[in-house]
Amino acid sequence: MFLGAMIMGPLAAWVLKKIDDVLDPVTPAGFEMLIGNFSLGISGMLLAIGGYYGIGPAVTVISDTLGAGVKFLVDSSLLPLVSILVEPAKVLFLNNAINFGVLAPLGVAEAAETGKSIAFMIETNPGPGLGILLAFWLAGPKVLRGSVPGAIVIHFLGGIHEIYFPYVLLKPKMILAAIAGGATGVATFMVTGAGLVATPSPGSIFAWLAVTPPGNHVGVLLGIVLSASASFAVGWLLLKTGAQDDYADLAGAKAASKKMKKG
């Protein structure tokens, strides 16, 4: 439903704007509210019907296809490869769409059968972001290092992963560190058989521990630690070997992040 709502929301706004553009010039004075309310109600009804019979089935097909793809990756022990898609998409602020629109429904279905699911852990893992921030703290430009400790608290304890996206945008190669961390975490969760009972929202370490079933804490914590270590190692190498160019403009990167988030 989340993915369908993300499609229908902007679509409905666009349709209503186009209807207003057509009706406003020809609406007699004094009839604006009457025509506006009726056009809004009729358009809303038609959009609801279209969403129910059109978007709903289409999203179901998409979700089923993605679910089959994830199942194939799990059965083939290739699930870590999903990080190649998930981690870059997160930086482009598609994290909520991926998590709640695709992974969470798959996780709910799996958890209903087995009591836990690894799907809840793929996008919400705070480890990769923690490793990237630590790399910037120890190997990044000195002008940025003062801002990193606060970002670590917000990210790892507060669960607001968006805080590290501007750092990645400062040096896009750092997405390789995120992918390495994400893949390492997923691989660890698979090997240890770890899973969560629900989506940890926000992706804070506290939220993770709250939805970790008994007997899974070692695997969960190990996956977070190893994913953070992998992203830190790759990120540190990238920052140390790369040219110290113009990626110290954190304010500019944050502005770009906000612009991307707003679409």
Structure confidence by residue, pLDDT tens digits, 65-120: 766 776 677 677 788 888 888 888 888 767 777 788 778 888 898 899 999 999 99
DSSP reduced 3-state for 196: strand
d(CA 36, CA 158): 43
- What is the chain's length? 263
pLDDT digit string, tens, across residues 198-224 = 999 889 999 999 999 999 999 999 999
d(CA 236, CA 74): 30
What's the rounded mean pLDDT across residues 3-20?
86
d(CA 101, CA 105): 7
Select from 244, 257, 231, 211 the least CA-distant residue to 91: 257
The dihedrals phi and psi of 193, each to the nearest 5 degrees, come to 75, 20
Top-confidence residue, 218 or 63: 218
Verdict on whether the full-model pTM lies above 0.75: no
